[in-house]
Amino acid sequence: MISYTYAETFTRVHARRLAGRVTTDLRQSSILYDSPSSGSLEDYQVELEELLVGGYVDKYQFGFKKDGRVVWSLRYTVGPDGALTGGAGGVPSGVDVRQASWFNFLM
Per-residue confidence (pLDDT) for residue 88, from 0 to 100: 64
Number of neighbouring beta carbons within 10 Å of residue 62: 23
Range of the domain at 75: 2-106
What is the C-alpha to C-alpha distance for residues 104 and 62, in angstroms, rounded to an integer?
Answer: 4
Residues 1-55 have pLDDT tens digits of 554 444 445 578 888 989 999 999 999 999 999 999 999 999 999 999 999 988 8
Residues 49-99 have pLDDT tens digits of 999 988 888 899 999 999 999 999 999 998 766 777 876 678 999 999 999
The pTM assigned to this predicted structure is 0.84
Q: Among residues 72, 85, 84, 76, which one has the least CA distance to residue 32?
A: 72
Query: How many folded domains does the chain comprise?
Result: 1
What is the C-alpha to C-alpha distance for residues 104 and 21, in angstroms, rounded to an integer?
Answer: 15
Number of neighbouring beta carbons within 10 Å of residue 74: 21
